Amino acid sequence: MTSEQPGSRPLLVLGKITAILDAFTLDRPVQSLGEIHQATGLPASTVQRLVSNMVAAGMLDRVGDRVRIGVRMAYWAGAAARGADLLELAGPVLRELRDASGETTALFRAEAGLRVCVAVAETRHALRREMHVGKIAPLHTGSAGRVLLAWDPQLADSVLAGPLETLTDHTVTDPAVLRTLLAQTRRDGFAITAAERDDGASGLSAPVFDHSGAVTAALTISGPRIRLTPQRCAEQVEPLVGAAEQLTRTLGGRPPG
């Protein structure tokens, strides 16, 4: 019988613990032992034993007969997020999403009543939608603005109370219509728009949240409408939302309660 290498058992256990933690997502923050078993492929007895130990250590908390990520983890995540820079963390996510979608990806934040591009990974296509760091646009136009307003009611009230500039024939300038669209964005968890700011462009965006559950940025895929068609946008929703969720988790963030 082959002897076990020193330290191999702890590494195996850490791998299993990591698999259990990775089973939790923003869409499925509370799970049963059976669901964790299905998500990880670990034996049910192993899941039961490790979950019990993780609850005892504060890594998981019980919610009835189910479990969720432990509140204690927020302290560790908070320490990591305090030393982390959003733009530094966003770079790899933007490039990976750009390579997967083939289109320009960007990160937008709300600043002084406008949305500002703070990071970008440009498409390799010759035909592209112009985008650069520092580019600004009105918050009431495009998918990024819709996401930033949808999860910030106070900002939405402020923007919708003022004049809404018309940029194209498709720009939404009716506050009532825009409020309905913002509510739809919150229900969907993402926004898709076309030709609201630029006649030839379309885009889709998903929210990135900070440790307090506040929206901190909008992650966006954008491109020319001839390539980024409605069907193509729909195909990119899942990878986009997954990337935004990944960035949220990397920041130690959480969705609003």
112 and 21 share a domain?
Answer: no
User: Which pLDDT belongs to residue 85?
Assistant: 64
Decide if 201 contacts 187 (C-beta within 8 A): no
Secondary structure (DSSP) of 235-250:
HHHHHHHHHHHHHHHH
- Mark whether 90 and 61 lie in a shared domain: no
Burial degree of 143 (CB within 10 A; 0-12, 13-18, 19+): buried
In a domain, 36, yes or no: yes
Domain count, the chain: 2
Q: Are residues 32 and 61 in the same domain?
A: yes
65 and 85 in a single domain? The answer is no
Same domain for 222 and 139? yes
113 and 230, same structural domain? yes
**pTM to 2 decimal places:** 0.69
114 vs 111: CA distance, rounded Å: 5
Same structural domain, 37 and 103: no
What is the mean pLDDT of the segment spanning 204-230? 94
Q: What is the tens place of the pLDDT at every residue in 16-69?
A: 999 999 898 867 889 999 999 999 999 999 999 999 999 999 899 998 899 998
Q: Which token pair is 5?
A: 């290498």
Whether residue 188 is contained in a domain is answered as yes
The pLDDT score that the predictor gives to residue 251 is: 83
The whole domain housing 57 covers 8-70
pLDDT in tens, 112-143: 889 999 899 999 888 887 888 888 999 999 99
- Taking only the tens place, the pLDDT of each residue in 54-109 is 999 989 999 889 999 887 776 565 555 444 567 778 889 999 999 999 999 999 99
Average pLDDT, the chain: 89
Q: Report the C-alpha gap between 244 and 207 in whole angstroms.
A: 6
Distance, in Å, from the CA atom of 68 to the CA atom of 111, rounded to the nearest integer, reads: 34
% of the chain surpassing 70 pLDDT: 91
148, 225: one domain: yes
Determine, yes or no, domain membership for 1.
no
Alpha-carbon separation of residue 8 from 1, 11, 98, 190 (angstroms): 16, 5, 37, 42
Q: Is residue 128 part of a domain?
A: yes
Residue 222 in 3-state DSSP? strand
The tokens for 178 are 């825009």
Measure the N-to-C terminal CA separation of the chain; round to a whole number of Å: 52
* 65 plus 91 within the same structural domain: no
Q: Are residues 124 and 172 in the same domain?
A: yes
| 75 found inside a domain | no
Q: What is the CATH number of the domain that holds 59?
A: 1.10.10.10
Q: The tokens of 157 are what?
A: 């009230």
In a domain, 220, yes or no: yes
* Structure tokens that stand for 161 in this block: 């109370």
User: Is-contact 115 144, C-beta < 8 A?
Assistant: yes
* Both tokens assigned to 55: 């609850």
In a domain, 76, yes or no: no
Q: What CATH number corresponds to the domain at position 171?
A: 3.30.450.40
